[in-house]
Amino acid sequence: MTLEPVHIKEIHDMVERIDNCLKVDDPGDDMDNVSNILDMLKELKYNGKTVIRSIGPVKRAKVSIEKMIQSNDLFNISYSCDSGSTTAKTFDNGLFVDFCHCAMASTPTDLDLHSIRTIVAATYIDSKEKSVSVGDKWESFDEGMSRKKIINIQAGLLKKKVNDMLHDIALYLCESEHILQLLEQMEDDSFFIMDGPIYPKRLMYWMVVESDEIQVRNEPHCKKILQNYIDIMDHHIKKQKALVGFVKNPEDMQLMQTLKKQDIAIDLHWMLDAQFFKNALSLEKAGLKRNDSRKYITYTNWFMQPNQFYEKALNATHPLLGDWVKHEFPAEDYSLTFFMIFVPKMDSIFKVEAPYGLVKNDEMRWQITRKVLYDIALNGIPKTLSKADSVAKIQLSERKQIISKFRNSRVDTSYNDIRWGENDER
């Protein structure tokens, strides 16, 4: 036993002291602060540029879970794409590798669609003499139902964050290629939900920032990924087909960081945007009683976030990228828009994203909002998204089996790997 009762008792005492320091003496003051901040989000600027602006009035709303469940689904069929990964592995001969496996699911279920898979193995070795031999073309397997590809990132381009960057490249190339392959198979009046953000934000950040340590701007696979996501948005904007990104664990900090730079007489004790929105949409601040927590979902209006670092890449306006990015619509149509949803019975907040080229249409914006609320009321996490996750996920035993097949490369094991193992919390 690590902790004796005496240790637990003292830790409980510390918890109580910390917790009491953060007690709100007058809940009304906190509610006023939240309202004042929301008012500022009508259009929040920094250095003359708009950071966020509201699409329509800023509002908080609630919807009855029971009434939503009893209503009709606006879309006859829903699609979702997700991927599983081995996570990037490091080997003692200098090799880094990540395998990504992507699948699409639908509701109602289409088993033929579920059977189509895309697999990408991304490799990197910082050597002038050693390299992984790859081909330019996709290789088909499973009687032509699926395809695979090994890619190699050029030596010298990654001097830090190798695991993170390699994982992103494998993940986003695999997912974007799989989506593009199946775009025309998805019905025009369908609803498409992506797992996570609609854009590969971290990868796009490094494509628009000058760095001697992460030089992916002109890396062919990264350029292909960026163009793929533009093509996906172009397809949906052109046909006005509903598309969203469902972010289960939003980690953005831009709004809170921007507000902290403003000369305002409000104490901002949140760092994450999600922390603020969770408070803004809490039961008391939304005008609900705590014992009604299992009856309602609360949510905000839609917001638009122009002028972000990754949107500069999509807008093809960044001088470091040149003119190779091709897109069909005005730059503004690719701007990120979102609304926030709080589910009290799950005590979870979600962020739902879409390109402005879709939600600037009032009817499309209403349909997307209602569809997401309907799916959450019915299943918590949208059912089609959960299906895609179960189809695409690479289980721990499978990850171990894949890596164990390496014979000429040994995993670079650290002491933490031995002590904790892959399945434990760290």
Are 90 and 163 within 8 A, CB to CB? Answer: yes
Q: What is the pLDDT of residue 218?
A: 85
pLDDT value at 319 more than 60? no
Instruction: Using pLDDT thresholds of 50, 70 and 90, give the confidence band for residue 33.
Output: confident
User: How many secondary structure helices (H) and strands (E) does the chain include?
Assistant: 15, 13
Q: What is the pLDDT of residue 243?
A: 98
Q: What is the mean pLDDT of residues 132-155?
A: 91
Least confident of 33-37, 215-219, 264-268, 289-293: 289-293
Residues 44-92 pLDDT 10s: 998 888 999 999 999 999 999 999 999 999 999 999 999 999 999 999 9
Instruction: Using pLDDT thresholds of 50, 70 and 90, give the confidence band for residue 422.
Output: low
pLDDT value at 413 more than 80? no
Q: What is the pLDDT of residue 424?
A: 42
- Mapped onto helix, strand or coil, the DSSP state of residue 343 is strand
Q: What is the pLDDT of residue 134?
A: 82
Q: Tokens representing 1?
A: 């036993």
Least confident of 58-62, 97-101, 358-362, 410-414: 410-414
Average pLDDT value for the chain: 89
Instruction: Using pLDDT thresholds of 50, 70 and 90, give the confidence band for residue 310.
Output: low
Q: What is the pLDDT of residue 288?
A: 56
Q: What is the mean pLDDT of residues 36-47?
A: 92
Residues 221-231 pLDDT 10s: 999 999 999 99
Are 174 and 102 within 8 A, CB to CB? Answer: yes
Q: Which of 174, 178, 130 is nearest to 151 (CA)?
A: 174
Query: Residues of the chain with pLDDT > 90: what percent?
Result: 65
Return d(Cα 127, Cα 316) in angstroms, integer.
Answer: 33
Q: What is the pLDDT of residue 321?
A: 58
Strands 146-153 and 117-124: parallel
Return d(Cα 81, Cα 113) in angstroms, integer.
Answer: 11
Residues 91-133 pLDDT 10s: 999 999 999 999 999 999 999 999 999 999 999 999 988 888 7
Instruction: Using pLDDT thresholds of 50, 70 and 90, give the confidence band for residue 425.
Output: very low
pLDDT value at 203 more than 60? yes
Q: Tokens representing 381?
A: 């996490």
Instruction: Using pLDDT thresholds of 50, 70 and 90, give the confidence band for residue 371.
Output: very high
Residue at token pair 């721990």? 396
Q: What is the pLDDT of residue 426?
A: 33
Burial 332-370 (b: 16+ CB within 10 A, else e): ebbbbbbbbbbbbeeebbbbbbbbbbbbbeeebbebbbb
pLDDT value at 279 more than 70? yes
Query: Residues of the chain with pLDDT > 70: what percent?
Result: 89
Residue 316 half-sphere exposure toward CB, CA atoms < 13 A:
17
Instruction: Name residues whose C-beta falls within 8 Å of residue 18's C-beta, 6 or more positions apart in sequence.
Output: none
Q: What is the mean pLDDT of residues 135-145?
A: 91
Q: Which of 293, 291, 175 is nearest to 228 (CA)?
A: 175
